């Protein structure tokens, strides 16, 4: 209700959520991408608004679902475009939720002409590494900001959790949402199952169920970060 929203630790906070998956152009009609639909990110943006955030910016990275009402949209497609958008948003944001699936590599050369089929039976595409956006932001001074990463791992159980612990350290994020993905699990209109860990590797909470439910739990855990409460 209105009283609770006025008391929300997010009432004067700008929350930025990246959602969807990057597309790395190959030529004018082709790209490399991934299966992230943007549903979890859309649910997170909506949950942040419901929790009383002053402003929610949704960085729409080729999302396949509609954006929730009330968010500000910034539209990008490739990793390098996302890098620029985040660079522009960084100073003003208080919470960054890096839910978008960012391509680790992009084609070394983007052809200006549509590539033609050749006589060869094989074709190789040279890729170069993309910048790690979360790690770059994690390395910046960021007093009062909370950075939240996601880790989709196909490894389950302890192995998956160990990857997640290494990731949060490497990227210097404050929280990491660990999400086991499979052929179907975790993608599209399917329930999600996550654990949220902190830099120490402690599990702060877990949630299983709809992307809405998971989003609400993640926002609740973010709100409980002392850095937001004490401000
Ligand atoms: N991420 C990013 N920039 C990249 C790659 C990933 O900002 N170039 C972010 C993602 O948005 C996510 C987090 O880093 O919040 C973890 O992404 P993930 O792909 O799980 O981790 P990687 O470090 O890329 O490791 P790997 O793919 O080898 O598991
Ligand atoms: Ca990756």
Determine contact, residues 206/200, Cβ cutoff 8 Å: no
pLDDT value of position 189: 65
HSE-up of residue 20 (Cα within 13 Å, Cβ side): 21
More confident residue, 152 or 12: 12
pLDDT value of position 183: 55
What residues are in contact with ligand 1 under a 6 Å CB criterion? Answer: 98, 100, 102, 104, 130, 132-134, 149-152, 167, 171
pLDDT value of position 107: 98
Residue nearest to atom 24 of ligand 1 (CA): 104
Per-residue pLDDT band for 124 (boundaries 50, 70, 90) equals very high
Which of 34, 60, 130, 179 is catalytic? The answer is 34
67 a known binding residue?
A: no
pLDDT value of position 156: 79
130 is catalytic: no
pLDDT value of position 225: 85
pLDDT value of position 80: 98
Q: Which one of the ligands is nearest to 105 CA?
A: 1
pLDDT value of position 190: 64
Residue-averaged pLDDT of the chain: 93
Q: Which one of the ligands is nearest to 153 CA?
A: 1
pLDDT value of position 228: 85
Q: Strand 24-27 relative to strand 30-32: parallel, antiparallel, unpaired?
A: antiparallel
pLDDT value of position 164: 95
Whether the pLDDT of residue 230 is over 90: the answer is no
Mutate which of 151, 166, 176 for ligand 1? The one with the most ligand atoms within 8 Å of its CB, which is 151
Least confident of 61-65, 177-181, 219-223: 177-181
pLDDT value of position 149: 98
Neighbours of ion ligand 2 (CB under 5 A): 104
What does the pLDDT look like over 200-212, one tens digit per residue?
Answer: 999 999 999 999 9
Work out the end-to-end distance of the chain between its first and last CA atoms, rounded to an integer number of angstroms.
Answer: 22
Indicate the angle between helix axes 211-223 and 39-50, nearest 10 degrees.
Answer: 50
Instruction: Quote the ipTM score.
Output: 0.99
C-alpha torsion sign, points 104, 195, 134, 42: positive
pLDDT value of position 185: 60
DSSP 8-state secondary structure symbol assigned to residue 29: T
What ligand 1 atom has the least distance to the C-alpha of 101? 11
Mutate which of 18, 104, 136, 164 for ligand 1? The one with the most ligand atoms within 8 Å of its CB, which is 104
The rounded distance, in Å, linking the Cα atoms of 131 and 80 is 8
Q: Which one of the ligands is nearest to 132 CA?
A: 1
pLDDT value of position 188: 64
What does the pLDDT look like over 145-202, one tens digit per residue?
Answer: 999 999 988 887 889 899 999 999 999 999 999 988 765 666 666 667 899 999 999 9
What ligand 1 atom has the least distance to the C-alpha of 130? 8
């Amino acid at each position: 209700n209105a009283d609770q929203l006025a008391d929300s630790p997010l009432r004067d906070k700008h929350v930025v959520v990246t959602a969807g998956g990057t597309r790395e152009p190959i030529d004018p009609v082709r790209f490399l991408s991934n299966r992230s639909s943007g549903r979890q990110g859309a649910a997170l943006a909506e949950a942040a608004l419901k929790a009383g955030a002053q402003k929610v910016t949704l960085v729409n990275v080729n999302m396949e679902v509609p954006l929730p009402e009330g968010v500000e949209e910034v539209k990008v497609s490739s990793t390098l475009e996302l890098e620029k958008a985040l660079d522009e948003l960084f100073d003003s944001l208080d919470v960054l939720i890096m839910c978008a699936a960012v391509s680790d590599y992009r084609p070394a050369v983007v052809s200006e002409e549509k590539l033609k089929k050749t006589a060869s039976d094989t074709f190789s595409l040279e890729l170069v590494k993309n910048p790690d956006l979360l790690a770059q932001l994690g390395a910046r001074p960021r007093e009062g900001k909370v950075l939240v990463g996601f880790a989709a791992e196909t490894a389950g159980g302890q192995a998956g959790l160990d990857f997640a612990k290494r990731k949060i350290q490497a990227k210097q994020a404050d929280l990491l949402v660990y999400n086991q993905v499979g052929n179907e699990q975790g993608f599209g209109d399917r329930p999600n199952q996550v654990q949220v860990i902190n830099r120490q590797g402690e599990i702060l909470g877990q949630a299983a169920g709809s992307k809405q439910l998971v989003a609400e739990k993640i926002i609740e855990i973010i709100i409980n970060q002392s850095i937001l409460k004490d401000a």
